[in-house]
Amino acid sequence: MQAKPPFPKWINKAIRLGLVGAAVTAFTAAGLGKYASMPQQLDVGYQPTQPVPYSHKLHAGELGIDCRFCHTTVDKANFAAIPPTQTCMVCHTRIKADSPRLAKIRESYATGKPVEWIKVHKLPDFAYFSHKAHVNNGISCVSCHGRVDQMEVVQQVQPLGMAMCLECHRNPENALRPKEFVTKLDWTPPAGQTQQQIGNKLKQELKIHPPVGNCAGCHR
């Protein structure tokens, strides 16, 4: 008479499924841990040293150069382009053309090898974000990037996490402004009007209903 096995057959399948589940859990935890530990994702104050010293305070603030002169795709594409060396040389072929601080810019222009700028603001790959959708509907650069026009060295001023996005999506009237002022970082509501009054009016006129409960709105 054949001996009865000590465990039912289904236990083998259960063990395999358990091992797969444990592996998936460990992989997910490792990925989230890596994401959370990266300063360019969540750390307010993240301020890497760039290969070429560039003052946004001088260019965007004192000289009044519009953000879109360098970041040309910010209102046309999902991503805000990092300016190529040719953009720098529009001015610097004549202005401070021999400055030692611009040696790497001149070298890049001569060789065609791009300057390896370090990205300051970076969203995780699993979060979808369109610059043009926000900029063209009245969300200013200042909402996420702060007063860049006052920064000698750009740093991260917002955590850029899910909580921040949801807060803005739930109450877009707190950030909306007329589209012609999205790159005017020092803009304030005109006398006699509040941010909420202007924002609510724009929200109705533009039919703005950001995704809040629909996860697929940002996680595609």
pLDDT of residue 24: 54
pLDDT of residue 9: 67
Rounded Cα gap, residues 184 and 141, in angstroms: 9
**Local confidence pLDDT in tens for the 220 residues of the chain:** 555 566 666 666 766 777 666 655 655 555 555 545 444 446 899 999 999 999 999 999 999 999 999 999 999 999 999 999 999 999 999 999 999 999 999 999 999 999 999 999 988 889 999 999 999 999 999 999 999 999 999 999 999 999 999 999 999 999 999 999 999 999 999 999 999 999 999 999 999 999 898 899 899 8
The verdict on pTM exceeding 0.85 is no
According to DSSP, the residues that pair with 219 across neighbouring strands are: none
* Cα radius of gyration (the chain): 24
147 within 8 A of 185, measured Cβ to Cβ? yes
Conformational region of residue 160, where left means phi above 0, alpha means psi within -120 to 50, and beta covers everything else: left
pLDDT of residue 91: 97
**Which two three-digit tokens encode residue 23?**
């592996």
8 within 8 A of 15, measured Cβ to Cβ? no
Domain ranges of the chain: 43-82+117-217
